[in-house]
Amino acid sequence: MMADHVLSDLQHGKAECRVVKVDRASEVHVLHDLNVTTQLRGDFATAYTEGDNTHVHATDTQKNSVYALAREHGITSPEAFLLVLAEHWAAQPWVTGTWFAAEQFTWERLAANGHSFVRSGQDTRTAWVQTYGSVDGEAFVLGGLKDLVVLKSTGSEFHGFPRDRFTTLAETDDRILATSVSATWRYGSRQARPSQEQARSTEDIDFDAAYDAVRAALLDAFATTHSLALQQTIHAMATAALDACADIDEIRIECPNKHHFLVDLAPFGLDNPGEVFFAADRPYGLISATVTRSGAEAEPRAWVGVG
């Protein structure tokens, strides 16, 4: 009976290792505050079928590796740190693939001295690295952000949509457009190799500069696009990001449409010329798209397991 069943998609690792690294090279300290998840793929089947753990790299060991490699290699950016983890784990026995994710929280240094900080920014930076094969196999790097909440109080319209017997939505040429942007982008494949030789090419990429350029482009496109639909704004943000950062080949954006409904104040003898809104929290529209640089190849393996 057992032989009829097929075991697949084995992965194990440690979720949400919170690591805070303080660079103390000068009196002006630098903080990196990450939430790291590790996952290994490989020849681990006998742990599942027989409880034989001979090949199982304990999730506790994976957690320890996060802290030890932070000390040995430092943390410059979430992407670079995940590449360090990938290089380490891809070289271990029985590992045929790896998957790492990180969130990075932002701290802003206070003016008083070099070692006091305030958490800043509601949005969170994200990154993923995954590898296929052992040391010289292929690796893919994604960067991103989530919870980037933006709103414009005019410059947004929505009309021309089909009407059927269930349609009640009024057409509008002036509404609030509000959303919480989740964006994930793929760095060009030349950057991503955990082997010694290819690791050098990852040094060519300034992941922090790329992140800053993409985030700024997303915000600028949101603000400056006169929107006829959130779909159009998403497309404008994605193309602006690709134009702003040559290091990325593909970007996925998902946006909830955070509806703001004009309140009918007529029962109170008041007009409402686009001033008083009810901010609904649910249900919300949910709109997404991927835009790939012209001529770049799609890399579905980069996105496996990335929600």
Ligand X SMILES: O=c1[nH]c(=O)c2[nH]c(=O)[nH]c2[nH]1
Active centre residues (catalytic): 14, 59, 259
CB of 148 to ligand X, least distance (A): 17
- Which SS3 state, helix, strand or coil, does residue 16 take? coil
What is the number of the residue whose Cβ is closest to ligand X? 230
Q: Is 175 annotated as a binding residue?
A: yes
Q: How far apart are CA 306 and CA 146, in angstroms?
A: 13
Residue 101 token pair? 């994710």
Q: Is 231 annotated as a binding residue?
A: yes
CB nearer ligand X, residue 2 or residue 170: 170
CB nearer ligand X, residue 121 or residue 155: 155
Give the up-direction half-sphere exposure of residue 180: CA atoms within 13 A in the CB hemisphere.
12
Backbone angles phi, psi at 256, to 5 degrees: -75, 145
CB of 141 to ligand X, least distance (A): 31
CB nearer ligand X, residue 230 or residue 245: 230
Q: Could you tell me how many residues make up the chain?
A: 307
CB of 274 to ligand X, least distance (A): 16
Binding site for ligand X (CB under 6 A): 158, 169, 229-231, 257, 285
Cβ atoms of 104 and 34 within 8 Å: the answer is yes
Q: Is 59 annotated as a binding residue?
A: yes
Cβ atoms of 127 and 78 within 8 Å: the answer is yes
Whether residue 283 has a cis bond before it, omega within 30° of 0: yes
Distances (CA, A) of 259 to 169, 180, 278: 12, 11, 8
- Which SS3 state, helix, strand or coil, does residue 265 take? coil
User: What angle separates helix 207-224 from helix 230-244, to the nearest 10 degrees?
Assistant: 140
CB of 177 to ligand X, least distance (A): 7
CB nearer ligand X, residue 112 or residue 169: 169
Q: Is 154 annotated as a binding residue?
A: no
For the annotated binding site for O2, the residues are 257
Residue ranges at the known binding site for urate: 59-60, 158, 175, 231, 257
